[in-house]
Amino acid sequence: MYLPRNAATPISVGVLTCLSSSGMCGWVAAAVPRRADRRAGCQGLAGITHGFRGEAAVLEPGGIAPTGPRRWAGGDGSGGYVGGRYYRAWMAPRIDDIGDIATALRGTTLQGHPVEEGPGHTFVVEEVDPGRLLDAWQAAHRAMPITSRWPVFTLPGVLGHEPEADELADLDQVARTLDPWSVYRRYRRDDVQDQGGVERYVQTFLGDDMVTRAIEELTPPTTSAALQRWTYDTLIADGQLASRAFSGSEYLVGTARWHTPPQVQLVLLPTTSQWLAPAWVPYFEADRDNGIPALAAAIRQWEQRWGAALIAAWGTMLQFTAQRRPQPGPPAWELAGQQLAVGGSLQCEQWQLAMALTRGDAWFLHDRP
């Protein structure tokens, strides 16, 4: 269904074909010169159509590992990253038949697993070994050009909401325009830190030999936010000091910290747009005004900027992989602040998470009552 973007012959896969005047689109798989892509036509393509009509799905500009936006006639299209390869391809029609889902998973680690219909036009792959979550997810993700369904692990029985097509369309539109950080703000008391507070903090995390410098540069009283940012900027400017201070914080990234419930289910959502997952999958921190749209917008931002992919949602926990790491400095600091806003129960300092995010490709967010 797709070819590597860096293939020797510059071709893309898939010619868009309108199947009806109502706007439902299907996809014809064919290798064509990229120049011909622009002849694809389907006015008003938004990237998704929901319900039983199937889904005219495409990984939009930015994708999971963006190769740069391209404007196609009648809609947006771009490179993407599926199954470990860059590609340019229009997706197949969404599969809505259990037998076809099983066929799409044949030859993968999910072959032979029971597949059941779930609520909200989802399918549920059962009896997955919790110890092999990432392998199973990758198998379902590699099949996405065929299924047009984004896979996500959840706890059994949590899919209670069945979103309607208009609800999903509204969520998709809002996710593209809403600033999620106007909704998710990290809760913290920006306490005033006197000289004694600064001394104790610096002694704890950086050592006695850094106290004098901290007092000279921060000139207390100062704020907790200023103290944290000074700590981060000081560490990233001194590799030896950073290694010493970061020791013990490695658990903040990587799959070793990922939660593995005793029973799981792999949900195949009826969309390739992972940011719509909150319409089906609950997350505790999203239980607030505009929480679901803001979470959708955050996931979309993270996908576009960092190649983040939602792997699992356990109610109070979210697990992602990322294709790109932030650079030390403002990018890592900003991303750490965002994750602490969405995962308010992470027990760490912002500078610790900012340093960790530059060293790992798996994220863990946690927010509990």
Residue 2 lies in a domain: no
232 with 286, same domain: the answer is no
pLDDT in tens, 60-83: 333 333 333 332 222 333 334 444
pLDDT above 50 (res 137): yes
Is the residue at 93 inside a domain?
Answer: no
Band of pLDDT at residue 4, cut at 50, 70 and 90: very low
Digit-coded pLDDT (tens) for 325-354: 999 999 999 999 999 999 989 989 999 999
Q: Which residues contact 135 (CB under 8 A, 6 or more apart)?
A: 109
Instruction: Tell whether 346 is covered by a domain.
Output: yes
pTM, entire model: 0.77
Shared domain for 102 and 83, answered yes or no, is no
Burial of 353 (0-12, 13-18, 19+ CB in 10 A): buried
Give the mean model confidence (pLDDT) for residues 1-12.
30
| Percentage of residues of the chain with pLDDT beyond 70 | 74
Q: How many domains does one find in the chain?
A: 3
User: Do 263 and 354 sit in the same domain of this protein?
Assistant: yes
Residues 178 and 102 in one domain: yes
E strands, 39-138, are 69-72, 75-82, 85-88, 115-117, 123-125
Overall average pLDDT of the 98-118 stretch? 97
Angle of helix 224-236 versus helix 211-218 axis, rounded to 10: 120
pLDDT band per the 50, 70, 90 thresholds, residue 188: low
121-135 average pLDDT score? 97
Do both 113 and 226 map to the same domain? no
* pLDDT digit string, tens, across residues 17-42: 332 222 223 333 333 333 333 333 33
Q: How is residue 182 annotated by DSSP?
A: G
pLDDT tens digits for range 223-266: 999 999 999 999 999 999 998 888 888 889 999 889 999 999 99
305: in domain:
yes
Choosing from 69, 88, 107, the residue where a domain stops is 88
Q: Which domain holds residue 228?
A: 192-251
